[in-house]
Structure 1
Amino acid sequence: MTDTFEPRKAAASAWFSTLRDRIVAAFEALEDGVEGAGDLPAGRFEVTPTPRTGADGEDQGGGKMSVMRGGRVFEKVGVNISTVWGRLAPRAQKAMAARGVPGMEADPRFWASGISLVAHMRNPHTPAVHMNTRMFWTPGAWWFGGGADLNPCIEYAEDTAHFHAALQAACDAHDPAYYPRFKAWADEYFFIPHRHRARGVGGIFYDDLNSGDWDADFAFTRDVGAAFLPAFLPVTERRLGTPASEADRDAQLIHRGLYAEYNLVYDRGTKFGLETGHNADAVLMSLPPLAKWV
């Protein structure tokens, strides 16, 4: 499987990098197009390499952490990519084996590549958002995962409907069973048990996607990523000029507290990134710049 998958790994990694470049360019263009934001300059991404090395200093890949702070539209947004490999630590290896990954108990080697995005907006009427897609490989298995979900502190039904419609169109192009299945998975996954509530209005979530047809699963994953900007940008542009009160800002900060709780306690990506030794700042870029608890 190793020789067969080298070009596939390269193709997946290249796609995630291309998607990152598209999103960064679109977000900076959105910043340029906003007027009347006081004295704030248009936001720009700061890009930091995030190399990964093994215990004996060997190269194990890495990525780019791209973060914009204090923009006109985005109070904080991160768009990270990474392609990493090595051997899973015993705890992560055990977790993978428990999930039924073939051969994981005997061979802890892995390769993973993906893109991860979280945006916390300046205007409380504009929803926060999360998106990620990824490919994972071990000597005995491969799969894709990812999804996107919308996280408004002040919900507008038309925004929720637009976001879901764009994701459904991407799913329906591949399998009409995907959207209801992956929407239900998102509703279950993006739920905060100790608060007895969802962290947002959902979207789609999928993991362990291996239909046996790598090309088809990769095409679906590309389409999920490509659907993100059409799903999110119109919602953002619709709410940019909505006046916000102090009560709106307070609601936003409290909602961000829920988001932080979820990502630190339940999120699989956060746990995996920290357990495999990836750059902690990159792993935790999803945390909001400011939050509040009551």
Structure 2
Amino acid sequence: MPEPFTTEKAAAAQWFRTLRDQIVSAFEALEDLPGQGTPGRFEVTPTTRPDGGGGLMSVLRGGRVFEKVGVNWSEVHGTLGERAQKAMAARGVPGMDSDARFWASGISLVAHMQNPHCPAVHMNTRMLWTPGAWWFGGGADLNPCLEYPEDTAHFHGQMRAACDAHDPGYYPRFKAWADEYFFVPHRGRARGVGGIFYDDLNTGNWQADFAFTQSVGRAFLPAFLPVTERRLGTVWSDADRETQLIHRGLYAEYNLVYDRGTKFGLETGHDANAVLMSLPPIAKWT
């Protein structure tokens, strides 16, 4: 008997791969805008998971616009390790206590900018399947070290529009979830100005949940590119750079200590360099 959800898995994996290609092209076009230095280009490295599957790690370093940006795509499968299996079972995933098989695919993006006035950003969308369940998760959040209220409003406006097209209750619910999820408890503050975050999304209608996840992915470039282009020419000072590096330290702390995706990737044996791609190239602590 064919494994369940074969068609749905293939459709989701292809969508995440297509979105990855679109974003890479858009970011390289941003690098081609007039400016000093040589436009950056992505270095693409295939990744493998020993127990099954792999992906593409795409990283651009030292560009005109991006100091470091990674856009990763993956499709992995196999059997969860004991620790990850117990964590899934504790979250109430049906059947996980007796059958640890899984399949997952998604796109994960983190951008750290050259100009401190351009905000860092994170986005990911994913689908996960186990024999007893399937669900979608992801979102996008803006992480400026120097906030401009109009940039925050624009980013949130695009996220709201993506949500409202599917359910008017999604944006307030997923915005609140992002505010809670991206909070750094040991610092007593958020890591950025938020966005949306959702996980374990299974309304019982796979097509509807997939369509929503696609809308979140499509909303990313219209949310991020305009605020970046608006700030590219802003002159920055040594003090601005200092603020940026200290803020990056906060970002690194969060990703290493709390981020669910980082933990899942490392615990399931995916390529460590791809999992830790989100870390900034340079950071500072006071």
TM range (shorter): over 0.9
Residue 51 (structure 1) aligned to one of 48, 51, 56: 48
Is the partner of 1:161 in helix, strand or coil? helix
The answer for the alignment partner of 1:7 in structure 2 is 7
Alpha-carbon offset, residue 51 of structure 1: 1.2
One-letter code of the match for 1:95?
A
Contact persistence 1:73–1:121 (CA under 8 A) = yes
Residue 75 (structure 1) aligned to one of 67, 70, 80: 67
Contact persistence 1:34–1:73 (CA under 8 A) = no
The answer for the alignment partner of 1:94 in structure 2 is 86
Structure-2 change in CA distance of 1:84 and 1:100 (3 Å): same
Q: Does 1:169 align with 2:161?
A: yes
Structure-2 change in CA distance of 1:85 and 1:32 (3 Å): same
Contact persistence 1:34–1:72 (CA under 8 A) = no
The answer for the alignment partner of 1:57 in structure 2 is none
Q: Distance in 2 between matches of 1:284 and 1:13?
A: 21
The answer for the alignment partner of 2:17 in structure 1 is 17
- 1:175-202 alpha-carbon deviations (Å, 9 max, x no partner): 0000000000000000000000000000
The answer for the alignment partner of 2:184 in structure 1 is 192
The answer for the alignment partner of 1:239 in structure 2 is 231
Q: Does 1:213 align with 2:205?
A: yes
The answer for the alignment partner of 2:109 in structure 1 is 117
Alpha-carbon offset, residue 4 of structure 1: 4.0
Residue 222 (structure 1) aligned to one of 210, 214, 225: 214
One-letter code of the match for 1:15?
W
Is the partner of 1:91 in helix, strand or coil? helix
Q: Distance in 2 between matches of 1:2 and 1:72?
A: 49
Is the partner of 2:275 in helix, strand or coil? helix
The answer for the alignment partner of 2:244 in structure 1 is 252
One-letter code of the match for 2:34?
V
Alpha-carbon offset, residue 2 of structure 1: 6.1
Q: Distance in 2 between matches of 1:34 and 1:167?
A: 29
The answer for the alignment partner of 1:26 in structure 2 is 26
Residue 138 (structure 1) aligned to one of 130, 134, 137: 130
Q: Distance in 2 between matches of 1:118 and 1:272?
A: 17
Q: Does 1:284 align with 2:281?
A: no
- 1:123-164 alpha-carbon deviations (Å, 9 max, x no partner): 000000000000000000000000000000000000000000
One-letter code of the match for 1:14?
Q
Is the partner of 1:194 in helix, strand or coil? coil
Q: Distance in 2 between matches of 1:45 and 1:293?
A: 29
Runs of 4+ in 1 over 6 A off after TM superposition: none
Contact persistence 1:2–1:139 (CA under 8 A) = no
Unaligned runs of 5+ in 1: 55-59
Give aligned pairs, total. Answer: 286
**Length-normalised TM-score, structure 2:** 0.99
One-letter code of the match for 2:50?
T
Alpha-carbon offset, residue 53 of structure 1: 1.5
Q: In percent, how many aligned pairs have the same letter?
A: 79
